[in-house]
Amino acid sequence: MFEVLPQLAPDPILGLSAAFKQDSNPRKIDLGVGVYKDEQGNTPIVSAVAKASKRLLEQETSKTYITPQGVQGFIDNMLGLILGHKSPVLMADRAAAVQAPGGCGALRILAELLTRVNKDLTVWVSDPTWANHIPLIGNAGLKIKTYPYYDKATASVKFDEMIDTLSTIPQTDVVLFHGCCHNPTGGDMTKEQWRAVLDVTQQQGFLPFFDIAYQGFGDGLEEDAYAVRLFAEALPEIIIAASCSKNFGLYRERVGLAAIITQSTQTRQIAQSQIQSVARGIYSMPPSYGGALVEIILSDDALKQEWISEVDDMRTRMQSLRGMLVSALSKKGANKDFSFVNQQKGMFSYLCISPDQVQQMRDDHSVYFVDSSRVNIAGINHENVDRLADALISVL
Ligand code: LMR
């Protein structure tokens, strides 16, 4: 039966890990998949997560089914983390939500929910966007269009062009925004720019769809929620996909949240019933383990503080790695100014080099990153930064 199907190329992001593993060069550098790494190149378990895990093991008495919406304590705490604990939206009981199997699961079930509203609906994504946005949303049957976002030539957000395109999008469409730490570019909008985007959104009436997968990795947990909170408080409806993969380091446990902010409590009840039925129809219910860990952490003041300071440490370390790369390149006399890397936010930097140069980095120097020129900043360390800078200079 399956011989009729074509053999597919490896995934543009996850496939890099396999290629990296096969490379026998002992000095190879992995800047591919977006996972946090320490100075030794390891991805340790966040200590608040390790403690919560121990506690859960002692407390858990059953492995019976949970519900399609997931762990309620997880959902309530995550809504507070994203929207703010005193959010008027939460006070007004306007948020429907389910625990989802990772940020990917959240994106997909929201896309499936959108097809229930209109199977021909169009979702606009930034150009460029995270490579998996298009299959996750497009495979649900929705149409995809792009709006201009990032200019490789100037390494900055194409703000005016973006606003021009957003100003043509009809009320019936959906626009996907990255809440913070834009993936792949690391190019975020200022607060003033977000307010201008909100104005266009209000004028056009399209539905904003926020993907917030890196809360805490840009400027801080509260600061990174600025855009989502701004839109949630100003508009009758927005939808949100959030991930706990990065900030809780729960990658393989698949923990995320899909939320729908509705106009009224009555619509919230409709949305809640629909999103649960979407989940039931695909995977029945999310895995409970990761959500239970997040619930334990966010419900316990001491553990929560410990987690916040670990997120702060990851963020400040990544910021210092940006500075380290920029200064190595400038000291070595790179003929391109890379100081824009210091302005980009989060886990990724778009180096704004060509796909051929990216390929040369891989073939000639065993440095692995995504074809778009996206590097995982957390893969840089004191031991490899000079080699990385030399390799970059040689392909420029
Ligand atoms: C990434 O962007 O590298 C991560 O979100 C991992 C993935 O699933 O692509």
Q: What are phi and psi of 69, to 5 degrees?
A: -80, -15
What interhelical angle do 289-299 and 72-83 show, nearest 10? 60
Could you write out the DSSP letters of every residue in 105-145? HHHHHHHHHHHHH-TT-EEEEEES--TTHHHHHHTTT-EEE
- Give buried/exposed letters for 111-147 (b at 16+ CB in 10 A, else e): bbbbeeeeeebbbbbbebbbbbbeebbeebebeeeeb
The preferred substitution site among 13, 31, 185, 350 for testing ligand 1, maximizing ligand atoms within 8 Å of CB, is 13
C-alpha distance from residue 372 to each of 21, 131, 132, 337, 353 (Å): 21, 10, 13, 18, 8
Give residues (CB < 6 A) around ligand 1. 13, 33-34, 130, 132, 183
Going through the chain in order, the beta strands assigned E by DSSP cover: 29-30, 95-100, 122-127, 143-148, 150-151, 156-157, 174-178, 207-212, 238-243, 256-261, 348-350, 367-368, 374-376
Q: What is the pLDDT of residues 330-376, one digit of tens each?
A: 999 999 999 999 999 999 999 999 999 999 999 999 999 999 999 99
C-alpha distance from residue 141 to each of 144, 153, 210 (Å): 9, 34, 19
**27 CA distance to ligand 1 middle (Å):** 23
Options 28, 37, 51, 130, the catalytic residue: 130
Q: What is the pLDDT of residues 296-318, one digit of tens each?
A: 999 999 999 999 999 999 999 99
Q: Is 345 a catalytic residue?
A: no
User: Whole-prediction pTM value?
Assistant: 0.97
Token pair of 165 as six digits: 């395109």
What's the pLDDT score for residue 378?
98
Token pair of 56 as six digits: 């859960």
Give the Cα separation of 296 and 294 in Å (integer). Answer: 5
Q: Is 124 a catalytic residue?
A: no
Q: CA nearest 241: which of 124, 105, 348, 145?
A: 105
Q: What is the pLDDT of residues 17-55, one digit of tens each?
A: 999 999 999 999 999 999 999 999 999 999 999 999 999
| pLDDT bucket at 245, cuts 50 / 70 / 90 | very high
| Domains in the chain, CATH or no CATH each | 10-44+316-395 (3.90.1150.10), 49-299 (3.40.640.10)
Average pLDDT over residues 115-144: 97
Token pair of 70 as six digits: 């997931």
Residues in the chain: 396
| pLDDT bucket at 136, cuts 50 / 70 / 90 | very high
Q: What percent of the chain has pLDDT over 70?
A: 100
What's the pLDDT score for residue 301?
98
**19 CA distance to ligand 1 middle (Å):** 16
Q: What are phi and psi of 206, to 5 degrees?
A: -75, 165
Cβ atoms < 10 Å from Cβ of 386: 13
Give the Cα separation of 51 and 316 in Å (integer). Answer: 23
Q: Is 130 a catalytic residue?
A: yes
Give the Cα separation of 293 and 299 in Å (integer). Answer: 10
What's the pLDDT score for residue 128?
97
Give the Cα separation of 240 and 260 in Å (integer). Answer: 6
Average confidence score pLDDT of the chain: 97
Average pLDDT over residues 233-247: 98
Answer yes or no: are the C-beta atoms of 382 and 323 closer than 8 Å: no
Ligand 1, residue 103: give the atom nearest the CA.
Answer: 5
What's the pLDDT score for residue 219?
98
Q: How far is CA 270 from the centre of its chain?
A: 27
